């Protein structure tokens, strides 16, 4: 069958060669909207650690794909060797072997099930922020699954997708959210779910870092999720997990995984900008500001699906079929209200949702609903007074404007109190040029002529009547876990 060669010795156009390889990665089948062609990629590695990309097309996926199993060793002969265009390269591998139905592929039986010598370069969780929302930047991470959520449908821009969320942790003890999309939920997601009580270890390759309640991870088409692969790093993490299992339970009981990530990942090198410099073209912004909502007339909650939190017209407690998650769920009140964020440069109005919103108040969303239905204002005098002396580090993202208006809306993704700040609240409340919000995104200086000054409580649109026209509750719609 040809000379036995290492991967690096096999060049395009060569004939009569054989190589012994191990399947390190097996990607999901992909296709492009503009063509009917399907393909499936692999990463093969030899005993020297050299790697090459393997590719199957169309019919070969059906016939040869099942033969090539993860972590198994094979003797491959006479595959077509091609140079890979840069946009098709995995991990910068410049050559690819085209595995067709004519290619000779023979599995090598090995009684030895020892640890495989695969090498990975993992990014520490604390080092993920610089990669956030950078489409072409990818990371590899390792983590133990400590919590598994159900698969839920997501509808956006007339497209339907499936997503399943997992919480990972490693020796850093900083939980991070991983979202598997579409085919990953059917394949790897199913395997992980079956092993959820055994704390499976994942090696995740080619993930995007996204801004979601701080920092989160998300799959791409070329991502790979390896579940309990037989490599040294996995064994080390499993041993560490066995010694720290009780700590995982504590993370879940304290709900730390829902609130810890953003603050932990807010590093000093992440620039805090002035409110006047916040622009909607920036996917996420960090500001330091005082929070107030004393003069905003609003009802503080909306009625949503208890599972996916999307807005509904169903009455409280009613069981209905949600148009977003397509399941029968109950309608439940959820916090949503607007706040003014003020620093020494400007004031900006943003919406805050769910647990984040509740942390500012001393009432539940259900209590807020009862006060509203009784046409009684929430007793928030103490809250307003305390906020005057507190400064917050706040993560913002621009929100869609759905009511046809020209005002740019913003959503608070996360905030935490700036306990180390020595800045006086009065400096933020009374800067040299203080501003009063006329609407979301519009301000006027208070040193303007008296006839141009208007009380914010009078100029603001009444949110209790305007709110139901908007679906901006969807800006923070993912289930709080």
Q: What pLDDT is stored for residue 63 in this prediction?
A: 95
pLDDT for res 253:
61
Spell out the domains of the chain, with CATH numbers in brackets. 3-107 (2.40.50.140), 125-249 (2.40.50.140), 275-476 (2.40.50.140)
Q: What is the pLDDT of residue 254?
A: 55
| C-alpha to C-alpha distance for 104 and 18, rounded to whole angstroms | 9
Report pLDDT digits (tens) over 94-149. Answer: 999 999 999 999 999 876 667 888 889 999 998 888 788 788 899 999 999 999 99
pLDDT in tens, 204-250: 999 999 877 668 999 999 999 999 999 999 999 999 999 998 888 77
Neighbouring-strand partners of residue 180: 164
Lowest-confidence segment of 41-50, 262-271, 337-346 by average pLDDT: 262-271
| Mean pLDDT value across residues 161-188 | 93
User: Mind listing the pLDDT tens digit for each residue in 3-37?
Assistant: 899 999 999 999 899 999 999 999 999 988 888 89
Per-residue model confidence as pLDDT tens digits over 331-341: 999 999 999 99
Predicted confidence (pLDDT) at residue 462 exceeds the cutoff of 60 = no
- Which residues lie closer than 8 Å to 30 by C-beta, 6 or more apart? 38, 39, 40, 41, 221, 222
Look at 402 and 447; give whichever has higher pLDDT: 402
């Amino acid at each position: 069958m040809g000379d036995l060669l290492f991967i690096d010795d096999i060049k395009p156009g060569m004939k009569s060669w054989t190589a012994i390889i191990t399947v390190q990665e097996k990607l999901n089948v992909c296709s492009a909207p503009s063509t009917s062609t399907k393909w499936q990629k692999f990463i093969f590695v030899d005993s020297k650690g050299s790697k090459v990309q393997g590719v199957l097309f169309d019919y070969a996926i059906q016939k040869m794909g099942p033969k090539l199993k993860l972590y198994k060793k094979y003797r491959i002969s006479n595959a077509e060797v091609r140079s890979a265009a840069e946009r098709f390269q995995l991990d910068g591998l410049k050559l690819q072997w085209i595995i067709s139905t004519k290619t000779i592929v023979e599995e090598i039986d090995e009684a030895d099930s020892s640890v495989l010598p695969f090498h990975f370069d993992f990014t520490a969780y604390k080092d993920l922020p610089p990669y956030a929302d950078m489409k072409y930047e990818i990371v590899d991470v390792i983590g133990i699954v400590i919590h598994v959520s159900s698969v839920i449908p997501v509808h956006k821009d007339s497209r339907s997708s499936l997503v399943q969320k997992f919480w990972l942790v490693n020796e850093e003890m900083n939980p991070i959210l991983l979202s598997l999309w579409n085919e990953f939920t059917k394949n790897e997601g199913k395997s992980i779910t079956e092993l959820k009580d055994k704390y499976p270890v994942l090696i995740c390759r080619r993930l995007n870092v996204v801004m979601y309640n701080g920092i989160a991870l998300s799959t791409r088409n070329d991502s790979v999720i390896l579940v309990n692969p037989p490599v040294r790093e996995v064994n080390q993490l499993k041993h560490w997990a066995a010694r720290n299992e009780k700590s995982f339970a504590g993370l879940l009981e304290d709900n730390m995984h829902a609130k810890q990530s953003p603050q932990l990942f807010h590093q000093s090198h992440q620039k805090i900008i002035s409110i006047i410099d916040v622009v909607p073209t920036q996917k996420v912004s960090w500001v330091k500001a005082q929070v107030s909502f004393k003069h905003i007339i609003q009802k503080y909650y909306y009625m949503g699906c208890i599972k996916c939190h999307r807005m509904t017209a169903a009455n409280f407690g009613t069981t209905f079929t949600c148009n977003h998650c397509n399941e029968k769920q109950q309608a439940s009140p959820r916090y949503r209200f607007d706040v003014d964020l003020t620093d020494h440069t400007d004031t900006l109005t943003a919406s805050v949702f769910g647990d984040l919103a509740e942390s500012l108040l001393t009432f539940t969303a259900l209590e807020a609903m009862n006060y509203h239905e009784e046409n009684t204002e929430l007793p928030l005098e103490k809250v307003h007074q305390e906020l005057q002396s507190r400064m917050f580090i706040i993560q913002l993202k621009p929100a869609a404007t759905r009511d046809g208006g020209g005002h740019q809306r913003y959503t608070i993704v996360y905030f935490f109190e700036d306990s180390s700040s020595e800045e006086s609240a009065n400096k933020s409340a009374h800067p040299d040029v203080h501003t009063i919000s006329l609407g979301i995104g519009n301000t006027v200086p208070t040193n303007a002529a008296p006839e141009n000054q208007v009380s914010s409580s009078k100029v603001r649109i009444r949110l209790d009547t305007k709110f139901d026209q908007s679906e901006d509750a969807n800006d923070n719609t993912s289930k709080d876990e």
